[in-house]
């Protein structure tokens, strides 16, 4: 007998989304927007490596000395907030969201993140955060689909031409941190080479990742593309 009750809606299946790619491809903007639109948590893994780098610099660790960095890798306490509308990161309880975006940190983060002990500490933290996200999560970085979360439900690899990436990144820089597009392009290419050639968890596209070239796409088009891929996967679970 129909008692007039409205059938309970089934909650969407939790999904883990890995979005990888080099700087300037739209990873952060896309990841945050996708997470917000689909009600998922969000994690910027690059911010964690930047936070680790900032801690090393602040505490007088020579970041060019791999052994010194390795020894200190487990000392800082990193905490990442996963709200896509207001992601946060603290180091030893202090807000690090501003300091980690300086040019000094940017120029040294590749060296710090290449140290295996650093990657071990941060990768374990990333996996624990993803596992605790009951509603699912969008995790952005450089080795998420290949190393951190190889069993992610959806893997996206964003690319763009060096020129487009440099223009975008230059537009993000403000005040004394601003540089011209040519200098920014040179810095991006050098960081790509460093991140792609490191021995431990290099920047690479997972074999089963969907590659999206964002060079000629608007941010909204990229977001719509990724949302569609995630919704299709979620519907199939």
Q: Torsion over CA of 26, 116, 145 and 210, rounded to 10 degrees?
A: 60
Q: Give, as one character, the DSSP assignment of residue 70.
A: H
Q: Taking 50 as the threshold, does the pLDDT of residue 188 lie above it?
A: yes
What does the block give as tokens for 2? 């129909």
State what percent of residues in the chain have pLDDT above 70. 90
Interatomic CA distance for residues 217 and 224, integer angstroms: 11
pLDDT in tens, 10-47: 567 789 999 999 888 999 999 999 999 999 999 999 99
What does the block give as tokens for 176? 């004394």
Considering only CA atoms, which of 30, 33, 28 is closest in space to residue 222? 30
């Amino acid at each position: 007998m129909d008692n007039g009750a409205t059938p309970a809606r089934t909650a969407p299946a939790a999904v883990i989304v890995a979005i990888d790619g080099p700087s300037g491809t739209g990873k952060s903007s896309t990841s945050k927007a996708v997470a917000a639109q689909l009600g998922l948590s969000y994690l910027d893994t690059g911010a964690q490596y930047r936070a680790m780098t900032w801690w090393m610099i602040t505490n007088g660790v020579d970041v060019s000395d791999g052994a010194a960095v390795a020894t200190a890798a487990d000392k800082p306490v990193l905490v990442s907030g996963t709200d896509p509308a207001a992601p946060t990161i603290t180091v030893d309880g202090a807000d690090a969201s501003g300091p980690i975006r300086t040019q000094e940190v940017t120029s040294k983060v590749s060296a710090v993140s290449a140290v295996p002990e650093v990657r071990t500490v941060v990768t374990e933290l990333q996996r624990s955060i993803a596992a605790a996200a009951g509603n699912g999560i969008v995790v952005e970085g450089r080795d998420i689909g290949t190393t951190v979360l190889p069993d992610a439900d959806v893997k996206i690899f964003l690319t763009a031409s060096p020129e487009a990436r440099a223009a975008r990144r230059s537009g993000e820089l403000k005040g004394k941190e601003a540089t011209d597009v040519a200098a920014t392009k040179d810095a991006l290419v050098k960081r790509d080479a460093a991140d792609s050639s490191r021995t431990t968890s290099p920047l690479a596209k997972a074999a089963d990742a969907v590659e999206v070239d964002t060079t000629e796409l608007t941010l909204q088009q990229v977001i719509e593309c990724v949302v569609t891929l995630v919704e299709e996967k979620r519907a199939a679970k």
